[in-house]
Structure 1
């Protein structure tokens, strides 16, 4: 076990926490934790943005400049009076350290970046490519000679941390992976705590609940199946059929538990949550973006808390969102519109009217009018602000859109929608708490409660009739949450707070993907759309969940409904039930994970070495891959067997070293188009087996320097002739692998 590397990375993270707190303390001074929960992602974001801008010239120069800018901002903040509160630092550092070491332990017994069951070959290949690259964007390790056509910003974060700590990719992968997890858990803790403190709830309890629901909780599949297992067989099968899942895949004993099934509840989709994603071991874009999404939410909470008279500070907070939106575009393009949507919600629902952001003359034009005009003005300005944030982000990230963003996409409408049962299983815990939370605020405002109940009932019935269960579950909460925030201020009644922005943002996304999706090669129908958005949905709702759940039993204002000792006891029991039921999955998953003895498990010899599995299961190729990684400089073009059959050991030389191959995994069809990929597949076959003249032509056209001939290449191209060219010589031999060197200057003299 590489304890020294763990210490180095933890010290680096905690150093970034201290530096970041100097800056967030100045910018987010109104928050209870002064932005400490997002101090690490804030510090990383500053370095990242500078590196991204200057990386077209030099990544190393950009990194040094980014560190200088970060340090300069911290010094300026300190000179202007920003102090690091020692108790807040220690508390935040403790939360981060616990989360980081927990995930380090998880990865240490399953560190392999194996090709099955996820995108680890893609993620590790991008990390290696960025560590080999001198400039941005990096070259695509699966499409030699072209820049990567994928959102690589999160992998850039990992590569910058690896450069700072002088850590090779084989160890940096799992240490960065654990760091992203700890960052999102700590961000949820800080934001949940700050919201709760402002509302008078027990702050640490709410922050801890938010962190738990983000980092360890699961959906209700496992507790639902456990309940059904104790019912008579006919009843349990009938209920399971109504809910829309099979009564299998849950533990009667630990050996029968399968962590995978909880992420595949909604048919035809992938509905991940953080614990599943990090347990599965991918370091994928939709995971790495979550700390920075919560950074954006925390900045917006700073705006929400800032009074109308502090116009300059509010404009400054909104201005900071533009560069952050640019970062999110490159880290995970699916999060780019989300930050715009959260901006719209915040500006529309904040106590201070957005008209106070306008110049005096423009503000006078909006002052006259009743509440209808005021609300229309408020919401129009909110939309304009959200669009403005995205416009700034789009300009800053323009090189990504022009060079690296894949264009093989379109918009699809009205996909096959989710059934009521599966939506309840996935979102039920959140929906139950939010419905009760809003009910406490709504009851004093309902002069005719039966009419309100009847209206909700009509929405539910109509939704079921037209096969839109999501409308029945989500629309009432969207309407009620929005109205409570806005109408409560006119009636001077208690209103929910910023947690409503998170709730509406998460539920709005969940509703949106029931009707709109992105058509692309990555999966049939809306599979990839749900896959890439549900992690965002979970993080937003889980952070709000901690606040709302604690608020149910801690808010004792008599002006709210459902008050009194009995109600509080009932809410406390509900909180305990939800905490236990949503943690069963995590308990079973961890027990299974740390006792596993099959596959790539390292329970007897923990390590953070992501490539240790290759040495065990592919020893001959491992030696060749190691030689390439250690002896080949830069990113020369290489020929290997194309990865037309994916999620298995294929294209390992390029995926595990970052040295690009002509045609890698078939993912490239989605990035480049069908013809571009399959033309290269044909060219690779010609290079291995074609006539000498054509071989020479293709080797020159693709500027090939290395040819890798291993077991897969021999199996696919049994009559290989490439070695007969004079320009092709043996570089090294490793058991079943021969690595050839191509002399480009000698190609013209090769025999025909």
Structure 2
């Protein structure tokens, strides 16, 4: 189940400005900000949400300190708090959502902190907590600035209508699961955990959905940034390096850095054409890239590099997003909202990796299962990664997995062969992950029984089309450069003959041979997996290498396996995790190398320090241009909405500017209480072009009031036949036989019928439903009429 733009080929030269991920103007307009009551109110909301997140973090500090000993626990206090809110809020929400779920979550959090505050030897470091608070504030205000310039939830360029609709339907529901805004009378068939947490925060702060959307985005980005800072610093603790440097690089590579495509474009622009042509051809970019100049920068280009089906001129690239692009684009989407919790999972596994067996059991069997279960509710695509990371962490831990078993079931391996030990590890590690998975299912059981059942089946198959090497380098090349140098130095500590020069030359030869044989990604990732796996059995490296191996394993899996009809997402969703893992791994590796590691006989420490520093600076320089260009373009290219209403965080402020014909009708619907069933034209999708009969199910998406048939995503969630039958019923209700109209209106319990420009221009029917005696105009404007259906009169 998914929602994506896999069938929309976005071309900035062919689309109207307002249909992109954010609105754009080619000529910037000087904007003056006037202090108004609305602006003061919005500043107040920013402060309120900022304080809400920070207070939650403070409330979770004692619990986080006990849960994550030996780590920078302050960096995970907010993710821990949000996890408790999400898990408890989801369970209680099936009885009563809103305030009851929120109060239950807050009460549980405070209880956990109160119980654990006296059970830990860790003394809370206020200065360190304040440091992480500053990181959070910086990330939060950055996204507030970005979204204040372009707050709109538009249907094209992402999944904003899906995300906003989920948030709206959650805010209207009395109990979970929420009713689908695109499939009336049925529960949502999508993972909605992130929107659930934002909805609870909106309840806590008394914030309307239009503002909660963008403030939730800011909060989750800041949470991700803080967790990245904390995880990198935590991993670097045993090393003789600056934790501040590792943490800062972790936050940078996770939350600010971009892939290499922008840097390559810049270099090609500076080089002579004939040299630029060679460069562009080598990395597999379009030939027209040679003619690129900085004025041609478009933020969306960097997110579409790896072809879905690698073949000449396929013209269809999968999304290989990185966080800065994702938050700039502004979706409040599952693959983004799950990221802080994936880093929290890594932090729990790190604490288990380093901690005593007794605490490791608690982490793995008591506290990890609800977190993993929540990850499934947040983003189903993240669940296999969380379980895979768990398996890997248990497998390569210095203690045998049997140490996790009760003493009477433990067996000594001292007298056993190495083959027996490895085989038993291979058996027990997945078993531990399986227990975590089952526990996660139990903690979130209502989600699986109400949302995930009865969906269309998808077959898992072998994939035989390999990703081009150039595309992989553009997306992940910066990280690969860091790991290659890091692993080369680590191997050197094990054998003086394996100098970095020898290792890097051998690695380059393997990649070249694999590329010639047509298996480029195999040549890159398999050595990383094997060498990293072996190094993890030594004391030369640590948890950062586990993350590198995990990321390489994900890439290998994606190269070999696909899901029928889901190749776009099979690339898109796992690559998000690869970016997170490799960004953190790079953030730890670079400071070690810049500090002159390793210290071995015959090594020139000064030279190692110099090359490590140069590499760190180079990787920052080649990954930062995207953020610079994108921010400049975002700030200077004003939108039609902000031109009209000024800077705002109101996600729906654009309605009166871009869709004035329908704005008052949508506002009227939004003011209705509950979830009355609505009828709008179908099918619907990414385009809101009323003149062509495309309404994007906007009245449902922007209000949370469920329509009989909304976006065609529902065909993915429920099956083509089920969705198509509803679409046919929609057409019949609008323009079919009167008897059939009455029957269907009664069957679906339709209370309001929306007749706007899209319905009037729909090619599939001519509106006649207004002629029924049971249908009367409830409210009307020049271009829209909303009819009310008297259900009792339908039987007369």
TM over 0.5, shorter chain: yes
> Does the 8 A contact of 1:481 with 1:500 survive in 2?
yes
TM-aligned CA distance change 1:572 to 1:312, over 3 Å: closer
> Does the 8 A contact of 1:201 with 1:555 survive in 2?
no
Q: Which runs of 5+ in 1 are unaligned?
A: 489-493
What is the Cα deviation at residue 495 of structure 1? 1.6
Structure 2 counterpart of 1:515, from 537, 546, 560: 560
State whether structure 2 residue 529 is matched by structure 1 residue 478: yes
Normalising by structure 2, we get a TM-score of: 0.89
TM-aligned CA distance change 1:426 to 1:334, over 3 Å: same
> Does the 8 A contact of 2:365 with 2:435 survive in 1?
no
Question: Could you tell me which residue of structure 2 aligns to residue 699 of structure 1?
Answer: 745
Question: Could you tell me which residue of structure 2 aligns to residue 596 of structure 1?
Answer: 637
What is the Cα deviation at residue 657 of structure 1? 0.2
Structure 2 counterpart of 1:36, from 68, 74, 97: 74
The 5 Å alignment of 1:573-722 reads 573-598=614-639, 605-630=646-671, 632-648=672-688, 649-716=695-762, 719-722=766-769
**Partner secondary structure for residue 662 of structure 2:** helix
TM-aligned CA distance change 1:604 to 1:724, over 3 Å: closer
What is the Cα deviation at residue 598 of structure 1? 4.5
State whether structure 2 residue 454 is matched by structure 1 residue 395: no
Residue by residue, what CA displacement relative to the aligned partner does 1:680-730 show, whole Å, maximum 9, x if unpaired? 111111111111111100000001111001111111167321111111111
**Partner secondary structure for residue 266 of structure 1:** strand
Structure 2 counterpart of 1:347, from 391, 394, 411: 394
**Partner secondary structure for residue 678 of structure 2:** strand
TM-aligned CA distance change 1:340 to 1:597, over 3 Å: same
State whether structure 2 residue 106 is matched by structure 1 residue 67: yes
Structure 2 counterpart of 1:47, from 69, 85, 88: 85
**Partner secondary structure for residue 258 of structure 1:** coil
TM-aligned CA distance change 1:365 to 1:552, over 3 Å: closer
What is the Cα deviation at residue 430 of structure 1? 0.5
CA distance in 1, matches of 2:340, 2:498: 40
**Partner secondary structure for residue 201 of structure 1:** coil
CA distance in 2, matches of 1:561, 1:684: 78
Residue by residue, what CA displacement relative to the aligned partner does 1:279-318 show, whole Å, maximum 9, x if unpaired? 11111110100000001000111001113xx424543444
CA distance in 2, matches of 1:346, 1:434: 19
Deviates more, 1:443-452 or 1:254-263: 443-452
What is the Cα deviation at residue 679 of structure 1? 1.1
TM-aligned CA distance change 1:239 to 1:316, over 3 Å: closer
TM-aligned CA distance change 1:106 to 1:454, over 3 Å: closer
What is the Cα deviation at residue 435 of structure 1? 1.1
**Partner secondary structure for residue 732 of structure 1:** strand
What is the Cα deviation at residue 95 of structure 1? 0.4
> Does the 8 A contact of 1:296 with 1:324 survive in 2?
yes
CA distance in 2, matches of 1:715, 1:367: 78
**Partner secondary structure for residue 540 of structure 2:** coil
What is the Cα deviation at residue 118 of structure 1? 0.8
Deviates more, 1:646-655 or 1:257-266: 646-655
**Partner secondary structure for residue 417 of structure 1:** coil
What is the Cα deviation at residue 408 of structure 1? 4.1
> Does the 8 A contact of 1:443 with 1:561 survive in 2?
no
What is the Cα deviation at residue 461 of structure 1? 4.8
> Does the 8 A contact of 1:440 with 1:560 survive in 2?
no
CA distance in 2, matches of 1:249, 1:616: 35
> Does the 8 A contact of 1:125 with 1:656 survive in 2?
yes
Structure 1 counterpart of 2:94, from 56, 61, 73: 56
Question: Could you tell me which residue of structure 1 aligns to residue 473 of structure 2?
Answer: 424
Residue by residue, what CA displacement relative to the aligned partner does 1:29-55 show, whole Å, maximum 9, x if unpaired? 221x2x111111111111211121122
CA distance in 2, matches of 1:540, 1:299: 14
Residue by residue, what CA displacement relative to the aligned partner does 1:178-213 show, whole Å, maximum 9, x if unpaired? 111111111000010111122221000110001000
State whether structure 2 residue 276 is matched by structure 1 residue 236: yes
Normalising by structure 1, we get a TM-score of: 0.94
CA distance in 2, matches of 1:77, 1:539: 30
Deviates more, 1:528-537 or 1:579-588: 528-537
TM-aligned CA distance change 1:114 to 1:281, over 3 Å: same
> Does the 8 A contact of 1:275 with 1:586 survive in 2?
yes
TM-aligned CA distance change 1:247 to 1:93, over 3 Å: farther
State whether structure 2 residue 302 is matched by structure 1 residue 267: no
> Does the 8 A contact of 1:126 with 1:152 survive in 2?
yes
> Does the 8 A contact of 1:556 with 1:563 survive in 2?
no
CA distance in 1, matches of 2:143, 2:212: 14
What is the Cα deviation at residue 677 of structure 1? 1.0
> Does the 8 A contact of 1:442 with 1:561 survive in 2?
no
Q: Which runs of 5+ in 2 are unaligned?
A: 1-38, 309-317, 689-694
> Does the 8 A contact of 2:364 with 2:436 survive in 1?
no
Question: Could you tell me which residue of structure 2 aligns to residue 491 of structure 1?
Answer: none
CA distance in 2, matches of 1:359, 1:730: 70
Question: Could you tell me which residue of structure 2 aligns to residue 217 of structure 1?
Answer: 257
> Does the 8 A contact of 1:354 with 1:378 survive in 2?
yes
The 5 Å alignment of 1:113-512 reads 113-248=153-288, 254-268=294-308, 269-307=318-356, 310-364=357-411, 366-405=413-452, 406-446=455-495, 449=498, 456=507, 459-486=510-537, 488=538, 494-512=539-557
Deviates more, 1:725-734 or 1:655-664: 725-734
